[in-house]
Amino acid sequence: MNPDTCPIVNCTTCPTAPPPPPTCTGVAATCTVPSCTACTQQNVNNAPQHMQRDAKEIVAAMGMGWNLGNTFDSYHRVSSQRDGAGYAIGEDVTRLETMWLSGSGDATTLTLIKRLKELGFETIRIPVTWHRVADPDNNWTIWTPYMDRVHEVVKMAYDEGMYVVLNVHHDDYVMRYSSGPARNVSETAGQINAVDRAQTELVHRRFWEQISTRFAAFGERLIFEGLNEPRTIDSPAEWTGGTSHEREFINELNQLFVDTVRATGGNNKWRTLMLPTYAASAALNPLRTFEKPEDEVENRLALSLHAYSPFSWAHDGWGAYAGWKSALEADFNRIQTRAGNLNMPVVLGEWGSVNNINNVDNTSAAQRATHARDYVFMAVSRGMAPIWWDNANQLGRNEQHPISTHGFGLIARAAPHNPFYAEIVTGMSDGLALARSGGQLPG
């Protein structure tokens, strides 16, 4: 008996899709037909073989990641949000890629990607600022040469077997989440007006229509991140969780992002998508008020958070890491609890520790290495993916550098792309290995 002639199990009443094909065994060619219990959620979504893993499986496999920061996300600030759009169309693409770096020699190369792999990084996040090359007078069409260059770098990393996160980054200058002067945004004045809402929704939709269409052929290791740190620039609540109106609107934009990507079809129907809270904050209010978007496929959404924890030490560079381990664990537990309630995995799209060269006991690198080990272990052991924020600046804070200087640089952009602090990369690798082996942190 040919297996094709065996009875077909009807799984339309199962919470799954068609089971594996039947097989025939034995002398009598008896049909062995899998029951509906053999159906899997991936099959429910009718995903092709190369798009079958859900968001939790994807995130769990991302390991430790690295940001291509201060590269495609660079921009010039301008006074008028709309007038700033499209100003870089026609400029030299390499200059746009490296304007925040040390020159054209720091353009992204395959050599850099291969070096990242050698160092143990399995994921690269590629932040991109699009408004500078989008024409507001032509339906926000993105300039093709710039899109081509981003595509080239994404393909470099993808072809090397890496997971790639592609996003919309510093586009808050053409997208608004509240109306009125930023300094006046409050719970009562923060609701967005119809004009600003319409433009923000249009820009958000048009960017993702174009990005999704251009990158639709990539498989499941390419992840889209809808927004970076959506917030009202320079508002009183910019870094303290925003207003209720802003948080509500960002929830709506997250839904628009999901709907827009899915509508482009192809692999995008099943692609894992990352959704941020207000400012990608892991604080209580943004986490509590985040709403999971509806999706036409199941289990393909991830929560996007940035957590420089413990903040005063890791982000601002004050004090010492010793004694902060319990606080770090408390932050992870808070995130894990909310993510569990949402049934969403977590990508920590930005984290790290600033190079504090004022550290009086001269143990900054050692402390940062211990923190890196602890952070990666706590993330990966909870099914989260940590991606180090590398802004290509290895300098820290001292009297010669302003308080705004953030030295998160980890890997040299110039060949041979060695780590500035090899012990930090080792700490990250140790934390990853310990988590994947089921071990425990010492002490």
Report the C-alpha gap between 208 and 167 in whole angstroms. Answer: 9
Segment holding 433, helix H or strand E: helix 422-436
- Angle at the Cα of 184 (from 183 to 190), degrees rounded to 5? 120
Active site residue 152: no
Given 220, 238, 246, 350, which residue is catalytic? 350
DSSP state of 137: G
Q: How many CB atoms lie within 10 A of CB 99?
A: 17
Report the C-alpha gap between 70 and 222 in whole angstroms. Answer: 20
Q: Are strands 385-388 and 346-351 parallel, antiparallel or unpaired?
A: parallel
Long-range contacts of 147-151 (CB under 8 A, 24+ apart): 147/210, 147/214, 149/93, 149/97, 150/72, 150/126, 151/214, 151/215
- Burial of 336: CB neighbours in 10 Å, binned 0-12, 13-18, 19+: middle
Q: What is the DSSP string of 315-341?
A: TT--S-STT-HHHHHHHHHHHHHHHHH
Q: Are strands 163-167 and 222-225 parallel, antiparallel or unpaired?
A: parallel
First to last CA, the chain: 63
Question: Which tokens go with 38?
Answer: 């053999």
Given 220, 225, 229, 246, which residue is catalytic? 229
Identify any residues that bridge with 25 across adjacent strands, giving them in sequence order.
30
Per the CB < 8 A criterion, the answer to whether 176 and 234 are in contact is: no
Active site residue 350: yes
- Burial of 423: CB neighbours in 10 Å, binned 0-12, 13-18, 19+: middle
**Crossing angle for the helix pair 110-118 and 144-159, nearest 10 degrees?**
30
Phi, psi of 375 (to 5 degrees): -65, -50
Q: Which residues are catalytic?
A: 229, 350
